[in-house]
A = this chain, B = another copy of it.
């Protein structure tokens, strides 16, 4: 059994034209023996956003802290601590920080998808 604080896991920073102010961590993945699905934790700085994209795997997301918005079918849906989002495969999506502080969420993907 692995028990850690998510911040103990090494982070990968993403900053380019498509994604801004994003830090990602694989906290439970193949390296831990998780064969079926993978847990990542993302932190978005103020003004940060993930890429607007689609792919054939789903996301199961829980918003831990902060205030954000999720792109759904052409408009932005507000989310905050305690919000849950299920993004089916092949559906366009993007997440952005809409608050003054950090937006933190966990995002799970099935095995086979890239872990980060």
A residues neighboring B (CB under 8 Å): 1-7, 9, 27-28, 32-37, 39, 41, 58, 60, 62, 64, 70, 72-73, 77, 79, 82-88, 91, 93, 106, 108, 110
Contact = CB atoms under 8 A, between A and B. Distances in A.
A60 B37 contact: yes
A82 B33 CA distance: 21
Q: Is the interface of A mostly helix, strand, loop or mixed?
A: strand
B34 A37 contact: no
Contacts of A37: 36-37, 60, 108, 110
A62 B1 contact: no
A2 B62 CA distance: 12
B4 A84 contact: yes
Nearest to A88: B33
A3 B82 contact: no
Given A37-B36, A108-B37, A1 B60 contact: no
B93 A1 contact: yes
Given A5-B83, A33-B86, 16 more contacts: A1-B85, A1-B88, A2-B84, A2-B85, A3-B72, A4-B84, A5-B82, A6-B84, A7-B82, A27-B84, A28-B60, A32-B86, A36-B36, A37-B108, A37-B110, A39-B84
